[in-house]
Amino acid sequence: MSLWLSLPVVVGVSLVLTGALRRYALRGSLMDIPNARSSHSRPTPRSGGVAIVLSFLAVLPVLGWFGVVSWELVWTLLGAGGGIAIIGFVDDHSHIAVRWRLLGHFAGAVWVLCWFNGMPPLNIFGISLNLGWLGNVLAAMYLVWMLNLYNFMDGIDGIAGIEAVSVCLGACLVYWISGNESLIWAPLLLAMSVLGFLYWNFPPARIFMGDAGSGFLGMVLGVFSLQAAWHSTSLLWVWLILIGVFVVDATFTLIRRFLQGARIYEAHRSHAYQCASRQLGTHSIVTLAVLVINVFWLLPVALYVELLGLDGLIGLVIAYVPLVILAVKFRAGELESHARI
């Protein structure tokens, strides 16, 4: 019972820390200044995501001490999550070259795979696939893509926080209903850590997450999905379905920009959610739309996969097709010189 009572405390700590970080950013002129590629119109403090990192990582060992989270997961997240957050925090203060950031990202991914003993065999259409070293390479690339796509998708007020909270709580619900209660505590802790920050970041945002927070969230969610994969392949599909909004928007946008010859490493504002926010003239409707999609579309599909035995790959396709249609509708990845908005 004492652990359950600690959850509101985590929310409060995150909330207070975010307020303190906002004052720190204002005093130190650590501001996100709008430019032609921004989705906001006024200078706003950044690096508020540090509050998420600190409140989550500080309590995680306590969960390990009480035995509700494995020490394997604790050390995995302390090393990879903490390292990615430090890289992001430094990059928020002074730019780090892309090659060095990627080196740090892959180092974090390797750390995860060492603690997890690599990528588990996957069951697809009833066939068990053990990809060996290729699976480990793909898993490392997946983790690096997850943390970077989360960075890409943190472009309007509240969207990254809403995604993290709704995805984590959705996964907790799936775990609870399916009898996997041992997996609940870590994503539940992350959701509480993000809730305190979200008070300051919900439209209109008074502070931004920054790379320290977005990269951390992407890595941690990736770790949660690999942890789930070691329990059952169906739970991996559950996570991939739940994070579908971010995966589809970021991946579709990147592929389309690449095919059009754009420099994919350059900043832009052509993600579907950014195009939608410009069309609608508001961040809040788009952010809340992500919440609605996660709760009323992706979560039911994930539950169907885990509880009713729908093949995970088929469930993934069912979940993603409407998201791809939305990406096409809002012209995600369209070069801005060709845009009609």
Binding-site annotation: residue ranges for Mg(2+): 151, 211
Could you tell me which residues come within 8 angstroms of residue 231 by beta carbon, excluding any fewer than 6 positions away?
Answer: 180, 183
Question: Which residue ranges make up the annotated binding site?
Answer: 151, 211
CA-closest candidate to residue 46, choices 257, 190, 215 = 215
CA-closest candidate to residue 204, choices 43, 10, 60, 70 = 43
Alpha carbon distances (Å) from 116 to 73, 111, 119, 183, 234 = 8, 9, 7, 15, 18
CA distance 142 to 17: 31
Q: Which two tokens stand for residue 231?
A: 């329990």
CA-closest candidate to residue 85, choices 243, 219, 221 = 219
